[in-house]
A = this chain, B = another copy of it.
């Protein structure tokens, strides 16, 4: 089975200071799951050029696809486009097709130097449509550079989907176990995991008004493998 992977770089001091709660990672994960792409790692980076560039380069090599969010607006701390260009040793300049997108929204008189920063695109990149505020994202090699504002980021994914060559899709089942904690099932579950190496088994405890409970989530590419694993789990639970 081919496994297709993605790495995600969430860029912005505000995500590290506690000011802003990231939600883009979950949105990207939910977008990728039905395409058969698994996120292998995500990093939340400060607005520091060298660190961003180094991470873009590293993730581009480690993963099939890379997503960056944030830092493509018009202000001095919006440096992601320059960092992506630097990561690949590419030039970056103001591109007319990106300016044309901006002109759909702004009067030419309002298209000041700051806003024109949003039309600076790494050499050879292809634009990613932004139907919300028009300043485009872009694709450079296997790296998709998207906005940080969640509504805009989500909208840009629409123009990413057709560029993804997905993988096999894992099926998933959830077995709810009320009134037991992870400690009750941890030992046998570990044994079952060893006996079903192609099934990924996770357990997720919850608290609610009635006490503790557990969701056991099993994932595999083949539903026959899920059948066997689920049977083993239900057998153990009924003992």
A interface residue numbers (CB < 8 A to B): 13-23, 25-27, 29-30, 33, 38-46, 51, 73-78, 106, 110, 112-115, 117-118, 149, 151, 181-187, 189-190, 193-194, 200-205, 207, 217
Contacts and interface: CB of A to CB of B under 8 A. Distances in A.
Given A43-B44, A186-B115, A186-B117, A19 B77 contact: no
B217 A19 contact: yes
The 4 closest A-B pairs by CB, nearest first: A114-B186, A18-B29, A76-B190, A115-B183
A160 to B, nearest CB: 16
A16 B41 contact: yes
Given A40-B46, A43-B43, A193-B76, A20 B204 contact: yes
Contact of A200 (B13, B26, B151, B203): B13
Given A43-B41, A207-B151, A114 B190 contact: yes
A118 to B, nearest CB: 8
